[in-house]
């Protein structure tokens, strides 16, 4: 392996950049295939997501969701686990938020409800990840397939609950009653009107998300548990040698991962929708996978990747007015391409880059 050590900036900067560039290049080709001009599309996208304050507000709102689901996937990655269940875990996380808000919203202010909502969402999301975690740890059942299955099961569960137990009395809609003030997180626009976020639903959950980033960073790289998680993910045999229990790590990691995904519901349910409704996750859980891969499972990368995907969503909404051919599905295509190039094909450019770098270094090595 030593024959071919690339400098850090290449490993962490250049190659990921090339991977992304490839993903977006191919996306551009798809845009051409449906008969639109990719350059125009990019312009509209950039303007819609960054060009004006309200648009940027929307971008940040979406980014908040992705930070949570991205962190979820990233934490699991460090243990070598692939948690595809963020979608279902976030959905069930909504249940935790709704229960806290419905119980407290009439009695206490939002900042008292919030910790309960955070706890509720995290516990609910973690609980939804528990069975796949336990099955992987104890029975070797592949966590990828089980978490995907739990995504599907969560749809059935939530539809049932929202049509029956949780339904707003006297309504035909499968949703809960709207939360009172005690169950609503303030919009950033209400707190800082000068920023001009207007109708964008970006709210204080963004701060919670960023706090989560810091906590995840501390956890993974500065705590003993984090050391054990990384060890297990890097070399499970060495981890056992070191006295680390695979069962314990798999379960704890997945619980943390599920909890983080569940917390996405705070932003959507308590921060924006102010009620629990069906299908509020709309694929944000899956975006988390692309975000984690693009952000190389590091909180800083995840924040950046989340903003990028936030731009895609907000810009995409703007785009759907100007270029109706480019539907929401285009974002799924881009997601797939990012996962492909930043994940499965992440080493595709390595040999070429190595050839660029090695002759110079070999010469220097020989002279040494």
Q: Does 217 bind another protein (CB under 8 A)?
A: no
Q: Does 4 bind another protein (CB under 8 A)?
A: yes
Minimum distance from CB of 332 to another protein (Å)?
3
Residues 151-180 that bind another protein (CB under 8 A): 152-153, 156-157, 159-160, 164
Residues 6+ apart with CB under 8 A from 351: none
Minimum distance from CB of 318 to another protein (Å)?
17
Cβ(229)–Cβ(253) under 8 Å? yes
* Residue (of 276, 247, 251, 248) closest to 120 by Cα position: 276
Minimum distance from CB of 260 to another protein (Å)?
19
Cβ(93)–Cβ(262) under 8 Å? yes
* 175: β partners: 277
The single residue among 30, 103, 195, 278 that binds another protein, judged by CB under 8 A, is 30
Minimum distance from CB of 225 to another protein (Å)?
9
Q: How far is CA 126 from CA 88, 90, 143, 227, 256, in A?
A: 11, 10, 14, 21, 6
Strand, helix or coil at 94?
helix
Residues 174-213 that bind another protein (CB under 8 A): none
Cα separation of 135 and 145, whole Å? 11
Cα separation of 328 and 292, whole Å? 21
* CB of 207 or CB of 242, closer to another protein: 242
- Residue 225 CB coordination number (10 Å): 16
At residue 231, φ and ψ (nearest 5 deg) are -65, -45
Minimum distance from CB of 191 to another protein (Å)?
31
Stretch of residues binding another protein (CB under 8 A), selected from 47-55, 97-105, 272-280, 335-343: 335-343
* CB of 27 or CB of 272, closer to another protein: 27
Site residue total, another protein (CB under 8 A): 77
Indicate the length of the chain as a whole number.
368
Residues 47-86 that bind another protein (CB under 8 A): 82, 84
The single residue among 87, 105, 175, 228 that binds another protein, judged by CB under 8 A, is 228
* CB of 114 or CB of 323, closer to another protein: 323
Q: On the CB side of 85, how many CA atoms lie within 13 Å of its CA?
A: 38
Residues 251-310 that bind another protein (CB under 8 A): 286, 289, 293
The single residue among 53, 131, 195, 278 that binds another protein, judged by CB under 8 A, is 131
Binding string, residues 235-254; x marks residues near another protein by CB under 8 A: x-xx-xxxxxx---------
What distance separates the 2 farthest-apart alpha carbons in the chain? 83
Stretch of residues binding another protein (CB under 8 A), selected from 9-17, 167-175, 206-214, 322-330: 322-330
């Amino acid at each position: 392996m030593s024959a071919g050590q690339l400098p850090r900036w290449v490993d962490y900067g250049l190659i990921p950049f090339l991977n992304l560039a490839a993903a977006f290049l191919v996306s551009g080709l798809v845009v051409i295939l449906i008969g639109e001009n990719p350059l125009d599309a990019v312009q509209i996208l950039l303007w819609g997501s960054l060009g004006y304050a309200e648009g940027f507000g929307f971008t940040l709102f979406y980014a908040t969701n992705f930070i949570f689901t991205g962190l979820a996937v990233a934490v699991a990655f460090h243990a070598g686990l692939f948690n595809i269940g963020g979608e279902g875990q976030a959905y069930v996380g909504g249940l935790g938020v709704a229960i806290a808000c419905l119980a407290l919203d009439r009695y206490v202010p939002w900042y008292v409800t919030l910790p309960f909502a955070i706890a509720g969402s995290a516990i609910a999301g973690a609980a939804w990840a528990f069975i796949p975690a336990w099955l992987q740890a104890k029975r070797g059942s592949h966590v990828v397939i089980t978490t995907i299955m739990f995504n599907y099961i969560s749809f059935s569960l939530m539809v049932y609950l929202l049509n029956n137990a949780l339904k707003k009395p006297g309504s035909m809609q499968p949703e809960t009653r709207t939360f009172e003030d005690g169950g609503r997180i303030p919009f950033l626009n209400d707190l800082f009107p000068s920023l001009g976020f207007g109708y964008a639903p970006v709210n204080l959950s963004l701060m919670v998300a960023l706090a989560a980033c810091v906590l995840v960073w501390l956890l993974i790289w500065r705590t003993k548990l984090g050391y054990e998680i990384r060890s297990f993910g890097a070399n499970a045999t060495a981890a056992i040698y070191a006295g680390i229990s695979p069962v314990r790590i798999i379960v704890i990691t997945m619980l943390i991962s599920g909890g983080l995904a569940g917390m996405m519901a705070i932003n959507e349910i308590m921060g924006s929708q102010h009620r629990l409704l069906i299908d509020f996750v709309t694929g944000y859980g899956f975006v988390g996978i692309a975000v984690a891969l693009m952000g190389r499972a590091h909180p800083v990368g995840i924040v950046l990747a989340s903003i990028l995907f936030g731009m895609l969503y907000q810009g995409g909404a703007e785009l759907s007015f100007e270029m109706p051919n480019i539907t929401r599905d285009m974002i799924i295509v881009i997601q797939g391409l990012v996962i492909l190039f930043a994940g499965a094909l992440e080493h595709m450019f390595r040999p070429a880059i190595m050839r660029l770098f090695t002759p110079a270094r070999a010469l220097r090595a020989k002279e040494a």
